[in-house]
Amino acid sequence: MAADYAYVGVFLIVGLLFVVVNIDVLSRLLRPSNPLPEKSKTYECGEDPIGISWIRVHIRYYLYALVYVIFAVETIYLIPWAVVFRELGLFAFVEMMLFIAILFVGFAYAWKKGALEWVA
């Protein structure tokens, strides 16, 4: 059991190492290095960039993230329910449908309020 997840860990570490070996060892030995101020300027189609790009972003991204949280939490409940669905039968099915219905009221509210409109 634990050995199964050891594989996941080893895969993640090997993935990191593969990138490091390729970029910082193999490619470093082969590639030229000739930095110029123009070259390391931020790319903006030949224009000088004005200001930094770490700016405050539009509120709509936050709204989508909030609606997503509702459903992300819901799927945490849905997956174990789906696994044992056959043993639980009708009662659990009706209960889950009620749960989803309650969430959909919130979803409908968000929809009505325009949280799902990109251009509001």
Partner 1 sequence: MEKTLERFYAAFAALGIPWIVPQLILMLVVASLVILFISVSVMFMIWWERKISAHIQVRYGPMRVGGWHGWAQSLADGIKLLIKEDVIPAGADKLVFALAPMVVFAAALAAYVIIPFGPNLIVRDLNIGVLFYISISSLTVVGIIMAGWSSNNKYSVLGALRSAAQAVSYEVPLVVSILGVIMTVGSLSMIQIVEAQQRIWFVIPQFAGFLIYLTAALAECNRLPFDIPEAESELVAGFHVEYSGMRFAIFFLAEYANMFTVAAIATTLFLGGWHGPLLPPWLWFLIKTYFIIFVMMWLRWTLARLRVDQLMNLGWKVLLPLAFLNMGITGVVLVLRG
Interface contacts to partner 1, rule CB under 8 A: 3-8, 10-16, 18-20, 22-23, 26-28, 30-35, 37, 39-45, 49, 52-55, 57, 60-61, 64-65, 67-68, 71-72, 75, 78-79, 82-87, 89-90, 93, 96-97, 100, 104, 111, 116-119
CB closer to partner 1 out of 55 and 105: 55
Residue 32: phi and psi, rounded to 5, are -80, 160
Nearer of residues 6 and 109 to partner 1, judged by Cβ: 6
Reference 93, options 82, 102, 103; nearest CA is: 82
Which C-beta is closer to partner 1: that of 20 or that of 113? 20
Tell me, rounded to whole angstroms, the distance of Cα 30 from its chain centroid: 35
Contacts of 100 (CB under 8 A, 6+ apart): 74
Token pair belonging to 34 = 């000739």
How many whole angstroms separate alpha carbon 106 and alpha carbon 100? Answer: 10
CB of 78 to partner 1, least distance (A): 6
Write down the least CB distance from residue 57 to partner 1, Å.
6
